[in-house]
Structure formats: structure tokens, C-alpha cells
Amino acid sequence: MEKITKREILEYLETIQGEITDIQHRSDSIGDSENRCSSDTLEELVNELRFNIETQGLKEAKSEEPMGPDGLPLNFPYHTESN
């Protein structure tokens, strides 16, 4: 599997932002304040993610646990001991 680049992530976020804008315009035109509120929250999250990527870059997650192809630790689900 090929790794995605920072530029590709930012392009995805730009596309998502365009879709959010469309939702906001449709919500405004039909007076749907609940969808407008949800789209505003989504827009804030996308903007925060874009800002963090642009200013702080991306870091690879490091884990001590061996990971399976599904991204979960190989010992998942975790077994807890009861007292």
C-alpha cells in the first residue's frame, strides 16, 4: 500500500471543504438550521486539521506493539484481569 503525501491530504481537505460549503448553502436556502450547525462544526474540524498539517507536519505513529493489517494491536481485544 502506497503512503499518502501531505499534499494529497491537503487536496482531500480542500475537496471536503467544497462539499461543506455546498451543504451550508443548501441548508441556508431551505432554512435547515440543524444541518447548518453540523456543517459549521465539520468545517471547524477540517480547518483545524488543515492548520495542524500545514504548520506542524505529519509524524509517523510509533508503537511498541506489533500491529495487524487492520491497524489494531495483535493482542486485541485486550484481556483484563479481574481482582
- The answer to whether the CB of 67 falls within 8 A of the CB of 59 is no
Count of the separate structural domains present in the chain: 1
49 falls within a domain: yes
C-alpha–C-alpha distance, residues 36 and 41, integer Å: 9
19-73 pLDDT tens trace: 999 999 998 888 888 888 989 999 999 999 999 888 887 665 555 556 667 666 6
Distances (CA, A) of 21 to 8, 41, 55, 73: 20, 12, 24, 38
pLDDT of residue 71: 66
Tell me, yes or no, whether 27 lies in a domain.
yes
pTM exceeds cut of 0.85: no
Residue 70 covered by a domain = no
> Residue 44 is part of which domain span?
6-56
The DSSP H or E segment spanning 2 is none
Query: H or E segment at 79?
Result: none
